Amino acid sequence: MNLSIIGFVIYLVALIAIGMISARSSSTGVGAYFLANRSLNKYVVAISAVASGRSAWLLLGFVGIAYAKGIAAIWAALGYIVVECLLFFFYAPKLRKLTEENDDITIPDFYVSQLGDRSGLLRGLLVLVIAVFMVAYVSAQFVAGGKAFFGSFGIEQTTGVFLTAAIILIYTTLGGFMAVSKTDIVQAFFMLLALVVLPIVAVINFGGWTPIVETVVQADKMFFDLEAVSWGVMIGYLGIGLGAPGNPHILVRYMSIDKPEDLRSAAIMGTFWNVVLALGAISIGFAARAYFPEVSTLPSGDAEQAFPFLASQLLNPLLFGFIIAAIFSAIMSSADSQLLVAASAIVRDFYQKLILKDSEIDSRTLVFISRCVVAVLVLLALFFGLFASDLVFWLVLFAWGGLGATIGSTSLLTLFWKGSTRAGVIAGIITGGVLIFLWKLVPFFKENIWNIYELIPAFLGSFVITILVSLMTNSVESDS
């Protein structure tokens, strides 16, 4: 058997074993299945929050940015690292405290506990937002997995998509949030291994950093200029971080920690992990530019192929297998979390809260239903991944920004401003969602306003509308 495949199979066996071990503890109820009964330690929370938030974008997209844009890629890393650090220190402790007090398991639970929702409109709107964006996210991850199988092992892409979906389905349905969080630790290790080992090998093989810098500068004199990108692009890169408070698969990590006082040390660990991963990704992008100065020398002329192509050229087959496992780690650490968040929204918020109206139902039955929903979501994501890939990738461009503009802005106000009202938050969610699509689809905005990333105007618009409508409806909702 090919040594690369052996290395990859070792990784898969470890993931499935974790899912099987975690299955028993996750079968006791929805709190265990979706939130691990708030029993995760600070190490698991810190690392899984980072791993689930990065996805394949870190190893493929971000390395591609570093390859193409040079040192200016730092702006993108700075944006999400700073915001996620602040979330750990200030946002997470308050969210953890309030959600435990009200026995909230999901993000919609949190909104309803703070704002009330007799009609079910707020909860229903949040379920719709989460389900749509998460299925789009997962579909794209499946397609990315299929392409990785094809590019690495020569396995036909459609078969690779099915394999990716099957692997994620097994350990997500078996172990729930506990398995997902534990596998995030394994996946984060592979990501760290790849982002530390490959730059070291690349630099040593090239003769040191000095020759790399000299070669890159010859190809692009602006490569190490922080101002090489426009102001609009720079602000857009920094604004990537605004999506973090809107991504439920990151927020539930804060809710799941066993000791709230450990969130500060988790913040330090998570930030350190984020910095190391970002520096590794940037270093790989720089090194790849020295090895392959022209993007046309990369497979399909695609800058996002810089990471796997560089690894294939420099590493022995067994180590290359582990490096490919790192790509799948990035894919799976996000896809499994996104599946679980979407399932929790459908089972807990739609079925249990809106349909059953909190009627008594056996907790094990709910867990069984949850596992069935995860399976259905996998099939739905698989369908789009196989037959509607253009639509999926179009939607996934909005997923991070869409969640940031709808949930990010409104969750901040709900958490920190007592003047927030249900009507204001509903208006903010709708405004953020509409602006995300409007800014992307109408050329006028990007062409005339710095070509800025759509998340920024959508986030700000949602934030402002939430405040204005809350001020107008505060007295009405207080009376009611």
pLDDT by residue for the chain (480 residues), tens only, comes to 577 788 778 877 776 776 666 655 555 555 666 676 788 899 989 998 888 888 778 888 889 889 999 999 999 899 999 999 999 999 999 999 999 999 998 899 999 999 998 889 999 999 999 998 888 888 888 888 887 777 677 788 788 889 889 888 876 776 666 666 666 777 788 888 889 999 999 999 999 999 999 999 998 888 988 877 778 888 888 999 999 999 998 999 999 999 999 999 999 999 999 999 999 999 999 999 999 999 998 887 888 888 988 998 998 888 888 888 888 877 877 887 888 889 889 988 999 889 988 777 777 787 788 889 989 999 999 988 887 655 555 566 678 889 999 999 999 999 999 999 999 999 999 999 999 988 888 877 767 766 788 899 999 999 999 999 999 998 766 555
pLDDT at residue 1 in the model: 52
CATH code: domain 3-386 is: 1.20.1730.10
> How far is the C-alpha of 70 from the C-alpha of 285, rounded, in Å?
8
> How far is the C-alpha of 351 from the C-alpha of 347, rounded, in Å?
5
Would you kindly state where each structural domain of the chain is located, as residue ranges?
A: 3-386
Q: Is pTM, for the whole model, over 0.75?
A: yes
pLDDT at residue 301 in the model: 84
pLDDT at residue 320 in the model: 86
Burial annotation 444-468 (CB, 10 A radius, 16+ → b, else e):
ebbeeebebbbbbbbbbbbbebbbe
Q: Radius of gyration (Cα) for the chain, nearest Å? A: 22
pLDDT at residue 86 in the model: 97
> How far is the C-alpha of 13 from the C-alpha of 232, rounded, in Å?
45
Instruction: List the one residue out of 244, 279, 277, 258 whose CA is nearest residue 88.
Output: 244
pLDDT at residue 391 in the model: 58
Length of the chain: 480
CA-to-CA dists, residue 135 to 124, 127, 379, 431, angstroms: 16, 12, 10, 21
